[in-house]
Chains A and B, each alone.
Chain A
């Protein structure tokens, strides 16, 4: 795997979704069995171009997400490789039973794309703010769950999903995100990416999605205080990269998780599950602490819910003090 860490805390001029759309174009051009289903949100994802190129295979299901999930499963039953998009709330809560029974239980892979994870839903407000979507998909046996952080990573996930034989769920951001990775970075499903590492790390930050950049800022702030930490982008929530996690737990002795998700049953929970069973070290949690979403600018919401580098710094200090 090759890592090209940009990490200048600067927004990528490209919309994150374009990484997804370009990959879908390549996949659909190369393979007639790849189909894309949307629920009246093609304009929001920039996938109308797919419909122009492949009117038969870029399928509009309208504002009827439950049916769309069933259509996707039925298409999968005829051997199609199916991507299904809606906003994260609808792609999880609204279609949970359909994805669970018609797709996952029935052994029919559908690749669900849930856009605008957590506080990124900003001006669409609390009704549209998926803070539990990851929890729902983590609970489905054998489902693969991703929380992608930028253009290059979302492009990789889109490309990788097509070969995964189970239901997958990807939470991501449609528009502007900080560029973490150069486009030549290589990823692997189920493998965390070590962003910073030394032989004298005092703790490890495990993170994903928009919290990767906050974690990198926390790394710099801690370094200025003379505290060295390891930083891991755990963009595959399930299956969890336990080898990497437990190595970090053993070598650094303290873990902090940082996620744009409810703390109940998210990244922090799956990490804790593993630590409790295999390598019990102090863990602190940064995330949304059992609250509903609300409307507002993303920056305001990140302050409001404690999703900032300062929160991660404080959590690291606390975790180290508990060693």
Chain B
């Protein structure tokens, strides 16, 4: 992996994610921008896809089960050429193809509809089973929030994936430590989430979710693991790089325009820094 190239892509995705949400003025900033590095590695170095044929049966799938992170997908898919980026600056406007939560009917490149938390983990797992039945060698990537892991359905899906020995799916848990009402430890503490997932029989790795090299290495290790599904626990900072959101790890934000301008300027600077690194 060309780390510099991927780091630049991550900075672009973060900046574009902010621009997408800024187009509406408010939205789920925190849990979107903290996935910029993951999306950069997936779309920049790992995934097989064709923006001109979004439903290509042999494509790799990306299921954002934490559907409220939609804007990071819209930014990424725009950068990858599925549609002009400006199209995504219609977030949540009437008739838009870019709703708060990812919707396979509306957005080219979105593989499954999510929003009701926990459900994307099951549908992604079903898609992995379907791909295996068809004898395809493609991968399904599924991104789960740590707050989302409150949902029992997440664990039902893990149980199923292990029982059916699905080794063509990789789950990521975005452990940013916060959910809507506060720190996850103050709501339903998960304890050692990595150990819990391991206890279900998955191959688990825990890494820094903002380190693109670590993400790439973990995905390569997961791909080499046969006979069991893999899970990569990403330690992240909710709101990463969004100057108004990261200090408080807000779930959703409605900043003032001057705060937006400050955040966009900081993200542009971060992109220049990555390019000059």
* A positions within 8 Å CB-CB of B: 35, 56-57, 59, 61-62, 64, 66-67, 69-80, 97-98, 101-102, 105-107
Q: Main SS of the interface on chain B?
A: helix
Given B115, B119, B123, B163, which contacts A62 in the complex, CB threshold below 8 Å? B163
> In the complex, A75 Cα to B164 Cα: how many Å?
14
Question: Do the beta carbons of A70 and B133 come within 8 Å of each other?
Answer: no
Q: Main SS of the interface on chain A?
A: helix
- Interface size for B (C-beta < 8 A) is 33
* B positions within 8 Å CB-CB of A: 57, 103-105, 111-113, 115-116, 118-131, 133-134, 152-153, 156-157, 159-160, 163-164
Sort A-B residue pairs by CB-CB distance and give the 9 closest, nearest first: A74-B126, A70-B122, A78-B130, A67-B156, A106-B113, A71-B126, A74-B123, A64-B156, A74-B127
> In the complex, A79 Cα to B57 Cα: how many Å?
9
Question: Do the beta carbons of A79 and B130 come within 8 Å of each other?
Answer: yes
* A71/B112 contact (C-beta < 8 A), A98-B122, A107-B104, A107-B105 known: no
Question: Do the beta carbons of A66 and B156 come within 8 Å of each other?
Answer: yes
B138 → A minimal CB distance (Å):
10
Question: Do the beta carbons of B134 and A62 come within 8 Å of each other?
Answer: no
> In the complex, A57 Cα to B134 Cα: how many Å?
11
Most buried by B among A59, A74, A78: A74
Chain B residue with minimal CB distance to A98?
B119
A58 → B minimal CB distance (Å):
12
Return chain A residues, CB-CB under 8 Å to B57. 78-79
Most buried by A among B122, B126, B131: B126
> In the complex, A70 Cα to B123 Cα: how many Å?
5
A–B Cβ pairs within 8 angstroms, 25 of them: A35-B133, A56-B133, A62-B160, A66-B118, A67-B125, A67-B157, A67-B159, A70-B119, A70-B121, A70-B153, A71-B126, A71-B129, A73-B126, A75-B133, A77-B127, A77-B130, A78-B131, A78-B133, A80-B130, A97-B116, A102-B113, A102-B122, A105-B113, A106-B112, A107-B104
